Structure 1
């Protein structure tokens, strides 16, 4: 099979790749060909590239040429493997020395386009979602976080699994509080001071909240508010 993780060898290739990716998440591993740690994490990235077709995965090797070394210097990469996440041509996140599970969490958090999770971008979006489900008996679980939030990333794979499993009885949504001023105003209105905060909404009203990233605790709170 053709390796789905293509190498970037020049600055022109890098810029063209970002341009062609558009709004898709781009994950670039900055590595070295003789690095044991780079070789260890690479198979996980290949597997993710096959299971996450909406995400672009690329590899840059520092020891390939002087041009790739300059790309490392430009991005401030000193140790490998180093992962940088880009969206719409901008750097949105980076990680160094991460595990396979952490890489998966990052990819899901920054690149999720799952229809199981409703993405909210304003107070108006929240209000519309609440109105839509005010009378259908479903529990609305609103995951409120920030773009750069370790605990938010950690729990997000669980949120996706729960959203798919509970689709008949609950609606899952998320909002990044630091996406814009309107989202930040929503956090202040709802007195959200720590993230992730999960708001449980039923019948048009907030019935409770859970603050934290514990998987078991989150599941317990959801079941409690579902009346299970």
Structure 2
């Protein structure tokens, strides 16, 4: 494990993007909802390592191994907005800005709660002391700043709070950490391509027939030559926003089109082989998608429009006569059952001394 100084040198060589989060805010209250929130806060606190010195930062990086590290560098006194980071009127200490940071911290807490395979580190930068030195060593002058590290490399960073930032940070965890809500593992649905051999195996594979799909009467059995093999081509380091933005759609499509599509992802900058593969595919922008069927390229798409990506999949499906099974008819409860539920709701409201529309 390289010392912090090496990571600092890497960070200084990178031009930061513009993006942001903050710490958990406890609210007064004594009802069951508050008790649940406090329990969740305790869980989040146990998932987040508070860093107070360069030595602690180095230790945390060492213990993280090859897991994704999300490093939050925040300040109670300063909160910049990412949308107009360089605007002179963007005063970092205003209450409006600080509230944006507090809201972002609450959102980050939810991410930490769900992504248990990601290491979350937080540095609260004070006016003086060791934490200010951490920010200086990392060449961070604006707060909050969020960095994503993996295998000792700075992959991506965001500076500032503001609208849409929480979603972007969540996308970053999914893109770089490979984990979604409720422990969802990206690799269960999207194959990682790191070599020509990986690509060949992916193209030659064939999705097995599925059992009955939830909500449908039957499963899918699509011939191998009619199955789409889709490769999402992006980059790892300093990935443009589009790569992160569209990846949740990639995962969703991979999960919901099992049986007639297979999905993979490849980073151009992973190694020399992946760079050569991208050149052979004619990729000059990311994110780009290459659609293959029966071993041949049948379509391409470059961009980050989630609907457009789905339309490319549906167009191939339609052109090749692939039809989803008929959706099963939903059984409605009887009128008598519905009236009984309504009666119970009225009785509950009456016992609680309140009015009800039931």
**If the TM-score is normalised by the length of the shorter chain, which range does it land in?**
over 0.9
Q: Of the candidates 72, 80, 90, which is equivalent to residue 153 of structure 2? A: 90
Q: CA deviation at 1:93?
A: 1.2
Matches within 5 A, 1:18-37: 18-35=61-78, 36=98, 37=100
Give the CA deviation at 1:133.
2.7
> TM-score, normalised to structure 2's length?
0.61
Q: After superposition, where does 1:86-125 map in structure 2 within 5 Å? A: 86-98=149-161, 99-112=165-178, 113-114=185-186, 115-125=188-198
Larger Rg: 2
Structure 1 match to 2:275: 184
Which of 195, 199, 211 is the matching residue for 2:286?
195
The answer for the alignment partner of 2:232 in structure 1 is 143
Alpha-carbon separation, structure 2, partners of 1:86 and 1:188? 27
- The whole-number CA distance in structure 2 between the counterparts of 1:17 and 1:90 is 14
Is structure 2 residue 236 aligned with structure 1 residue 173? no
Tell me whether 1:216 sits opposite 2:297 in the alignment.
Answer: no
Structure 1 residue runs without a partner (length 5+): none
Q: Does 1:152 align with 2:243?
A: yes
Match status 1:205 vs 2:248: no
Aligned residues between the structures: 228
Alpha-carbon separation, structure 2, partners of 1:38 and 1:61: 13
User: Secondary structure at the residue paired with 2:202?
Assistant: helix
User: Partners in 1 of 2:206 and 2:284 — Cα distance?
Assistant: 26
Residues in 2 aligned to 1:189 and 1:90: alpha-carbon distance in whole angstroms: 27
How many Å apart are 1:140 and its aligned residue? 0.9
CA contact (8 A) 1:145 1:195 kept: yes
Cα deviations by residue, 1:29-60 (Å, 9 ceiling, x for unpaired): 10012441432211111101111111111110
Between Structure 1 and Structure 2, the one with more strand by share is 1
CA distance in 2: counterparts of 1:212 and 1:159, whole angstroms: 12
Unaligned runs of 5+ in 2: 1-38, 79-97, 179-184, 208-222, 323-358
Match of 1:132 among 194, 198, 205: 205
SS in 1 for 2:269: coil
What's the TM-score once normalised by structure 1's chain length?
A: 0.94
Cα contact 1:38–1:80 (8 A) shared by 2: no
Q: Which residue of structure 2 aligns with residue 226 of structure 1?
A: 317
- Say which SS state the counterpart of residue 73 (structure 2) adopts: strand
Classify the secondary structure of the residue corresponding to 1:129: helix
Q: What are the equivalent positions in structure 2 for 1:49-88 lying under 5 Å apart?
A: 49-63=112-126, 66-88=129-151
Q: Give 4+ residue runs of structure 1 displaced > 6 Å after superposition.
A: none
Equivalent pair of 1:200/1:225 in contact (CA under 8 Å): no
2: CA distance, partners of 1:24 / 1:44? 21
**1:64: Cα distance to partner?**
7.2
Equivalence for 1:48: 111
The Cα offsets for residues 77-127 of structure 1, whole Å up to 9 and x where unpaired, read as 111110011111221111112511111111111111511111111122111
**Cα deviation, residue 65, structure 1:** 5.0
Q: Is the 8 A contact 1:141 1:201 kept in 2?
A: yes
Answer yes or no: is the 8 Å Cα contact 1:197–1:212 preserved in 2.
yes
Deviations 1:171-221 (A, max 9, x none): 111000111111010011111111111111111111111111111110000
Deviation for aligned residue 1:225 = 1.7
Write the distance in 1 (CA, Å) between the matches of 2:290 and 2:240. Answer: 17
